[in-house]
Structure 1
Amino acid sequence: MLFSVTSLLSGLTPACYAVPALCVALILIMIRIAVLDHPVARSAHTRPTPKGGGIGIIGSFLLTIPWALASHPQTHTLPIAGMMAGVFFLAVVSWADDIYSFKAWYKLAAQCLAAFLVALPVTSSPFVLGIDVLLAVFMTNALNFIDGINGLCAGSIAIACFILALTGLQPEVLLLLALALLTFLPFNFPKARIFMGDVGSQSAALVMAWCAIQPHPFEPYLVLALFSGIFWDVLFTLIRRAFAGNKLMHAHRGHLYQLATRSGVPVSAVTLLYWVFTLWGAFVWSLPLPTVSLLLGIILPQALWTVFICLRARQRITTAW
């Protein structure tokens, strides 16, 4: 698998220069509107904070895609149109959920429909379509679950966008999302003036799922490798909670990244570590090694992190986890 700066630069279009300005304008509007995320028992923040920063991310991303595609007339637009439709639909539903808090099953149905819209133009058979929809729904939820501390989700996806653009996968599209996320980050990390909310995390995650299910000119599992740290955290937590008899559909503070911060690891350090996990996944997957060796190379840091945090949590967290 080759990373090419030429591939990355091919994605630079005039639209890239419009994204930051548009994103900042939308974020400032959302800060002024001040739909607040009030802290609850499982929250990492302690004071009401505006949410909806994802409207700046996704709004600037979707609005500039047509402009970017005008500079790349050779691009196949049907898959991009499907992605835009699914992302727009999920963004609308997620923003409504940020305000009104829908039931979990309603949100899952919306995610399935959005995933279907994204997967349909790039899928060759009904069976593969079903698998792609399941993968997209899993990725959407996994990246949303991880959006619990400042900068973790947004930074991880931004890094992934740049790496995927380096492989030549839709750089004219992914650079727009990367720039929108980077524009958002100073508003959220290390200190949050605004959260991106479900409208940002779920919608951006759906774009990553779209990358994962497309026919690739490179090794198709790179997307999964990039988010291996996040997927490990989510799957380990689900399995651990299932064995403990916890209700899996209930909100909690039991993810590894949450246990880390609850046990005293600085939030910024945890965020930076998960960004490193994203870079590590790309590095390992670029090595000319057998598949088993690649998997072991990716999993080893996650396993060590898990042991460290579980031991630390046993010593320092006195409440249920």
Structure 2
Amino acid sequence: MPFSLQPLLSGFTLPDLPAAFLCMVLVALMIRAGVMDHPIHRSSHTRPIPKGGGIGIIGAFLLCLPPALYLTHQSFFTGPILGLIGGVVLLATVSWLDDLYSFPARYKLAAQFIAAALAAFGSGASLPLTVLFVLGAVFITNALNFIDGINGLASGVMALSALFLAASGIQPVVFVLFAICLLVFLPWNFPKARIFMGDVGSQSGALIIAWGAMQPHHFAAMLTLALLSGVLWDVLFTLARRARAGDHLAQAHRGHLYQLAVRSGIPMPLVTVIYWGFVLWGALACLAGQPWETGLLVLLPQLCWTGYVCTRAKARVQDHW
């Protein structure tokens, strides 16, 4: 699976510049708006921090995507693009309202399924494959939302993933624009957080990345899963571990691998960089070509990381995990 600068560079368009500026303005406005994320027992932060930075990311992306497509002679009025925009607008709206008012989980899950179905619209896939896409998109949406618990982790993972998707020729205009919006936001959130993305950023952004797996490229799904392997493994392992321990799976907790790593004394910025490294490793693993080879290659560092973190947690984390 070759990556190339040619499709990556072809994804850069003039509207990327106003998108970067607009993202900065919106993020700054959200900081001034003062919608705060107050720390609770499972939080990684210890003081109230503004949230809603995802409005800058998603707002700039949505407003600048139509002219970016127009300048590259691509139609905005196609099934895949309209489905993506519809799904992102729906999920961003519901996620922001949830950030403000805390909806019941069933309403949020329903919005995720509808948004994923909209994103899958126009993919041209068979009905069984479309259903699989929708289920996968909902899982990825929740996984990146769960993982958005320390500075820069989710936004950095999504930015790198978007760049590799673009470099492989998968919707380069879309993913370069999205990566730029994420990279503009990142200094506001890493290494020190002045604002959080909130659900509006993590869930809507995750849907955009998941949409990459739905594109008509024979390696799109494999590449997307490999790029997100660190995030997906963390969530799957944590669910399996908590199920075996008899914990309530829907209950909020601090038992993800990245959280245990921080609680065991690994510096938070280092944990974030390690998860960025998993994205880079996933891209390299895809060069193996065969799905089973890629799967084995992405699994190896996850097993090593899991063993290391769990060993540290047993020795250093005193409360329940």
Q: Which of the five TM-score ranges fits, normalised by the shorter chain?
A: over 0.9
1:214: how far off? 1.7
Q: Does 1:71 align with 2:71?
A: yes
2:196 alignment partner in structure 1: 195
After TM superposition, the structure 1 = structure 2 runs for residues 80-91 of structure 1, keeping only pairs within 5 Å, are 80-91=81-92
Q: Does 1:14 align with 2:14?
A: yes
1:219: how far off? 5.3
Mean Cα deviation higher: 224-233 or 120-129: 120-129
1:213: how far off? 1.5
Structure 2: unaligned runs, 5 residues or longer: none
Mean Cα deviation higher: 116-125 or 237-246: 116-125
Structure 1: unaligned runs, 5 residues or longer: none
Q: What percent identity do the matched residue pairs reach?
A: 56
Contact 1:167-1:218 within 8 A present in 2 as well: no
**Distance of 1:206 and 1:220 partners within structure 2:** 14
Deviations 1:166-192 (Å, cap 9, x if unpaired)?
111111111111000000000000000
**Distance of 2:7 and 2:214 partners within structure 1:** 20
SS at match of 1:121: coil
Deviations 1:68-127 (Å, cap 9, x if unpaired)?
011122457321111011001100000000011111111000100101111121143332
Instruction: State TM-score, norm by structure 1.
Output: 0.97
After TM superposition, the structure 1 = structure 2 runs for residues 31-180 of structure 1, keeping only pairs within 5 Å, are 31-75=31-75, 77-180=78-181
**Distance of 2:121 and 2:129 partners within structure 1:** 10
Deviations 1:116-158 (Å, cap 9, x if unpaired)?
1111211433322211110110010011100000000000000
Contact 1:142-1:234 within 8 A present in 2 as well: yes
Contact 2:212-2:220 within 8 A present in 1 as well: no
Q: Does 1:256 align with 2:260?
A: no
Aligned residue pairs total 320
1:298 alignment partner in structure 2: 298
- The change in CA–CA distance for 1:309 and 1:51 in structure 2 (over 3 A counts) is same
**Distance of 1:75 and 1:127 partners within structure 2:** 27
2:315 alignment partner in structure 1: 315
**Distance of 2:306 and 2:314 partners within structure 1:** 12
Contact 1:259-1:309 within 8 A present in 2 as well: yes
Instruction: State TM-score, norm by structure 2.
Output: 0.97
SS at match of 1:122: coil
**Distance of 1:172 and 1:293 partners within structure 2:** 30
SS at match of 2:250: coil
